[in-house]
C-alpha cells in the first residue's frame, strides 16, 4: 500500500474508532466471538497421536504451556464489511482522497479481527509429528527422534511462561520456521519470537524473507495444473528440504517448530507433505490430522477446511525432497 494510502486508512480507522475505544489500533479493541457461536468452529482435546508423539520424543506434556484449540469464523469478512461501512459513514464528506477506501478499510479491520481471534483468543493450534529417520542428541547424550511441532502465532512469545517459550525449553525446539506471509500485522510477534529463540540458542527463519516464492497463493484451489503450480510445488519442496530436513544445510540439532498465521493452511500443507513423503503415513491419518487443525467437524461445520490443501499434499512428488 502506498504511504499516503496507508496513512489515510489509518486516519479512517482512528477517526471512526476513537470515540468508541481508547486504543483504536489494538487487537484488544475487537473481541473474538464466543465459542458457543454456531459460526465459530472450535476443536477440543488434542490431535490424533499427539501424546504418543510427545512420548517418542521424551517430552513431558506438562512442560508445554500450549493448547491445541483452533477457531475459525465464517462471519469475520461480513463483520469487517459492516464495520467499514460504518467507519466510512462517519467521515466528513469533504475528506481528501477518500476515493474507494472502503476495501482497504475492510481489509485492515478484517486482519485485526483475525489477529484478535488467534492471539487474544489464545488459539495455539498445537500439534506434533515425529520425523521418521531423523535424529538429534540432547545435552545428556540421549539420541532422540526429531519432533516437528506446529502452531499458529501465539500470545506474548517473549514471556517466560508463554507457549512459544515452553516449546523452546520443554519441547527441545532448536529451529523455528515462520511460514507466514500474509497481511496480518505481526511485527511485534515476530520480533518477540526472534529474540526468544536467540536467547534459547535456537535459530529462527522467516521464509517470506527468502526466495521461496509466494507458494501459498500459487497453490490455492483456483490455480490449475501447469507451470505456475509446478513451480510453486518445487519452491515448497525446496523450503522443506532447506528449513526442516536440513536446517542451514545440516541435520536438525533439536526439535523444530513450524508455524503460520493460525496453524491451519501453510502449516497443514507442510505437515501433510512430511507425513506423506517422509513418514509414509496412510492417507486417512494425514487427512484426519489436517481436518483436526482446520477445525473441521462436518460438512455443515467445515471450519477453515480447504480441499485444495489436501490436493497439494496428494499431488506432491516426494522426489522434490531429495537433494538437488
pLDDT tens, position by position, 122-135: 999 999 999 999 99
- pLDDT in the model for residue 40: 36
Whole-angstrom distance, CA of residue 235 vs CA of residue 225: 15
Domain boundaries 47-70+124-321, CATH class: alpha beta
Average pLDDT over residues 283-288: 96
Which of the four pLDDT bands, split at 50, 70 and 90, describes residue 169?
very high
Task: Give the range with max mean pLDDT: 9-23, 79-93, 269-283.
Answer: 269-283
Domain ranges of the chain: 1-25+72-120, 47-70+124-321
- pLDDT in the model for residue 82: 86
Percent of the chain with pLDDT over 70: 83
pLDDT surpassing 80 at residue 14? no
pLDDT tens, position by position, 296-317: 999 999 999 999 999 999 999 9
**Residue 40 phi, psi dihedral angles, 5° rounding:** -120, 125
Helix, strand and coil in the chain, % to nearest 5? 45, 15, 40
pLDDT surpassing 70 at residue 145? yes
pLDDT tens, position by position, 38-85: 333 444 588 999 999 999 999 999 999 999 999 888 888 888 888 888
pLDDT surpassing 50 at residue 87? yes
pTM metric for this prediction: 0.84
> Can you list the alpha helix ranges (DSSP code H) found in the chain?
3-17, 50-56, 76-89, 102-115, 163-169, 187-199, 215-218, 227-240, 266-273, 283-293, 307-315
Amino acid at each position: 500500500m502506498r504511504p499516503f494510502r496507508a496513512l489515510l486508512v489509518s486516519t479512517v480507522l482512528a477517526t471512526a474508532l476513537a470515540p468508541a475505544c481508547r486504543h483504536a489500533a489494538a487487537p484488544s479493541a475487537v473481541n473474538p466471538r464466543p465459542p458457543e457461536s454456531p459460526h465459530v468452529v472450535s476443536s477440543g482435546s488434542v490431535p490424533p497421536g499427539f501424546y504418543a508423539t510427545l512420548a517418542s520424543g521424551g517430552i513431558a506434556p506438562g512442560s508445554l504451556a500450549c493448547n491445541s484449540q483452533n477457531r475459525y469464523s465464517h462471519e469475520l469478512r461480513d463483520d469487517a464489511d459492516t464495520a467499514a461501512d460504518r467507519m466510512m459513514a462517519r467521515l466528513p464528506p469533504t475528506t481528501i482522497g477518500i476515493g474507494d477506501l472502503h476495501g482497504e478499510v475492510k481489509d485492515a479491520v478484517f486482519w485485526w479481527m483475525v489477529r484478535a481471534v488467534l492471539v487474544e483468543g489464545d488459539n495455539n493450534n498445537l500439534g506434533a509429528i515425529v520425523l521418521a529417520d531423523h535424529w538429534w542428541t540432547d545435552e545428556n547424550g540421549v539420541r532422540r527422534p526429531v519432533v516437528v511441532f506446529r502452531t499458529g502465532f501465539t500470545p506474548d512469545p517473549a514471556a517466560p511462561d508463554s507457549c512459544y517459550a515452553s516449546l523452546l525449553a520443554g519441547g527441545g525446539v532448536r529451529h523455528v520456521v515462520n511460514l507466514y506471509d500474509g497481511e496480518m500485522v505481526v511485527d511485534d510477534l515476530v520480533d518477540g519470537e526472534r529474540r526468544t529463540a536467540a536467547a534459547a540458542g535456537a535459530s529462527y527463519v522467516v521464509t517470506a524473507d527468502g526466495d521461496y516464492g509466494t507458494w501459498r497463493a500459487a497453490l490455492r484451489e483456483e490455480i490449475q495444473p501447469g507451470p505456475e503450480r509446478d513451480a510453486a510445488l518445487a519452491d515448497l519442496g525446496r523450503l522443506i528440504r532447506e528449513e526442516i530436513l536440513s536446517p542451514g544445510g545440516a541435520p536438525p540439532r533439536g526439535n523444530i517448530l513450524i508455524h503460520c498465521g493460525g496453524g491451519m493452511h501453510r502449516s497443514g500443507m507442510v505437515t501433510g507433505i512430511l507425513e506423506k513423503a517422509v513418514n509414509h503415513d496412510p492417507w486417512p491419518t494425514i487427512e484426519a490430522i489436517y481436518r483436526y487443525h482446520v477445525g473441521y467437524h462436518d460438512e455443515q461445520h467445515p471450519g477453515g477446511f480447504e480441499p485444495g490443501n489436501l490436493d497439494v499434499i496428494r499431488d506432491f512428488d516426494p522426489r522434490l525432497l531429495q537433494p538437488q
